[in-house]
Amino acid sequence: MGKQSAYIAKLPDEAGRIYYTPEEDSVWADLYAAQESGVAAHMSQVYLNGLTKLDMPKTRVPQCCEISERLGKLTGWKVAPVPALIGFGRFFGMLAEKTFPAASFIRSRKDFDYIEEPDIFHEIFGHTPLLTDPRIAAVSEAIGKAGLKAEKKDYSWLIRLYWFSVEFGLLLEDGAVKGMGSGLASSPTELPHAVVSDAPERREFRILDVLRTPYRIDIHQPIYYVVDAIDDLVAMSERDLLTDVREAQSLGLFAPTYPEKTDA
């Protein structure tokens, strides 16, 4: 959102389907295989239940239209292919309409282990299982609706709420910390880093703290927020999020706990 993509978007045909090459299908298959055991061990049951409900193909790139058909029956959401990077305004607008914007390309072998921008594997494998649960889907919709009312200066604050919950949130489940966010589900290295490593700090999920926490997209997160229960996310979706943003702005950002990015 806001910078140039290194990839070219793939456009759907009149039937809404995208042609993926055999090599691209092979990348999907290998990514799926690489993540399957990790998500089984470290992701929350709410994610795993969604993955089962969607029953997405393991050996080829799924079509957005086929995922939409299954999602629509469960929560009324759909998936629409978009270029890799879209503006915050369009992003929030699509979420408010229960439409998840999915970057249509899949990463190359060069970026197999980590890709800075979202690709179709991250979008479909990471995000859509969460959208099968109406409670988590409501969080995305609420953030989208808040974004429609927000001023541009509020966007970076509001997106932190999305980042530390839907993207990289953790969930306390039967006394154990599990991955919840889509960025964890789709990353072979960050999921164990977030859940079992001693390196990151895991903080209790408090909305004002989340809104005030800066992050970088190109590193494993040094801080994760742990949601005690899914019902806490339901409560969050019912709040006046822009009022929370205003309060967070008055308090200011926390000092970063990561090194500054350099061009070297």
Is residue 128 one of the residues assigned to a domain?
yes
Rg (Cα) of the chain, in Å, rounded?
17
Instruction: Band the pLDDT of 115: cuts 50, 70, 90.
Output: confident
Residue 131 carries which DSSP code? Answer: G
Q: What is the mean pLDDT of residues 191-207?
A: 97
Which CA distances in Å does 238 have to 138, 166, 233, 235? 9, 16, 9, 5
Tell me the percentage of the chain whose pLDDT exceeds 90: 86
Average pLDDT, the chain: 94
- Please indicate, yes or no, if residue 9 is contained in any of the structural domains: no
Please tell me the distance from the alpha carbon of residue 79 to that of residue 94, in angstroms, as a whole number. 10
Give residue 51's pLDDT: 98
* DSSP, residue by residue, 134-192: HHHHHHHHHHHHHHHHS-HHHHHHHHHHHIIIIIT-EEEETTEEEE-SHHHHT-TTHHH
What is the reported pLDDT for 1?
46
Annotated binding residues, written as ranges, equal 122, 127, 167
Number of domains composing the chain: 1
Residue 85: per-residue pLDDT: 80
What pLDDT score does 113 carry?
A: 82
Q: Which pLDDT value is given to residue 227?
A: 97
pLDDT score, position 4 = 64
- Per residue in 42-78, pLDDT (tens digit) is 999 999 999 999 999 999 999 999 999 999 999 999 9
| pTM of the predicted model as reported, rounded to 2 decimal places | 0.93
Residue 162 lies in a domain: yes
pLDDT at 261: 77
Name the binding residues for Fe cation. Answer: 122, 127, 167
> Whole domain around residue 121: which residue ranges?
22-251
pLDDT band at 93 (very low <50, low <70, confident <90, very high): very high
Residue 61 lies in a domain: yes
In a domain, 264, yes or no: no
CATH number at residue 98: 1.10.800.10
Residue type at 170?
A: L
Tens of pLDDT, residues 17-35 = 999 999 999 999 999 999 9
Asked whether residue 159 carries a pLDDT value surpassing 80, the answer given is: yes
The pLDDT score that the predictor gives to residue 264 is 45
Residue 17, in any domain of the structure? no
Provide the pLDDT for residue 263.
55
